[in-house]
Amino acid sequence: MDTPLQNRTAIVTGAAKGIGAGIATALAAAGARVVVNYRSDTTGADRVVKQITAAGGTALAVAADVRRRDDVAVLFAAARKAFGPVDILVNNAAVYAFGPLTAITEDDYREQIDTNLWGTLLTMQALAAQDDLGEASIINLSTAGTASHPLYSALYVATKSAVNSATLIAAKELAPRGIRVNAIAPSVSDTDGTRAMGFIGSPMADAAIADIPLGRLGTPDDYGPVAVFLASPAARWVTGDILFASGGQR
């Protein structure tokens, strides 16, 4: 088995389902000890941990709300106690709600900006605050929507555009310490979340597929190998990049 992440410790936020679960599983298969973070879906997080351990990997589920600094401190402390310093961070936790510009509320704004951007900043701060850290990799989840600018996504895409900027700036700031910072920009994907929205099978899904040159929606399994690459020594010369894993969607 190829284990390029052996003896590494990873936190994947929002990993109880969907893309986060796919990335957590892939990192574990590559040898990392994985902390499966979740906010409220205990059942889902436990399911991901069981899948990882059943395959011979190492994982732990930890509840924490990435919007809260104290929770992020608890998350990193739990990871350190179980596995040692955290040297892989995947910021996957995000919320989204699509609709016309005129329908955006202040509550929508607070929920999305606090989770998608503030949560990403807090966890990057926590990783960088470790004074015994060697080389490390931060991977933020963006969206191909920052290039394609789909209708009814003004707020969500704005938060992810901010994540892109934070990624590029943090990459410069943290490079002297050997901490690489990159982002993955997925296409529209078939996940638990998009299914719960009723998106899959809808005319909007058909339109999205028509906009993806490879002719299908993404799946959680498409993004795990990309995260493994960015976290691994194979990407040692890659930082400050927004990698579009989007089937060609732009």
**Active-site annotation, residues:** 156
Q: Which residues are CB-neighbours of 84 under 8 A, at least 6 positions away?
A: 9, 33
The DSSP secondary structure of 186-200, one letter per residue, reads E-SB--HHHHHTT-T
Q: Which of 123, 133, 124, 12 is nearest to 71 (CA)?
A: 123
Q: Which of 217, 171, 213 is nearest to 191 (CA)?
A: 217
CA 90 – CA 40 distance, rounded (Å):
18
Order of strands across the sheet with 136-141? Answer: 58-63, 33-38, 9-12, 88-91, 136-141, 179-186, 242-245
- DSSP state at residue 97: -
Reported residue count of the chain is: 250
**Torsion on CA atoms 38, 119, 158, 228, rounded to nearest 10:** -60
| Chain centre to alpha carbon of residue 229 | 14
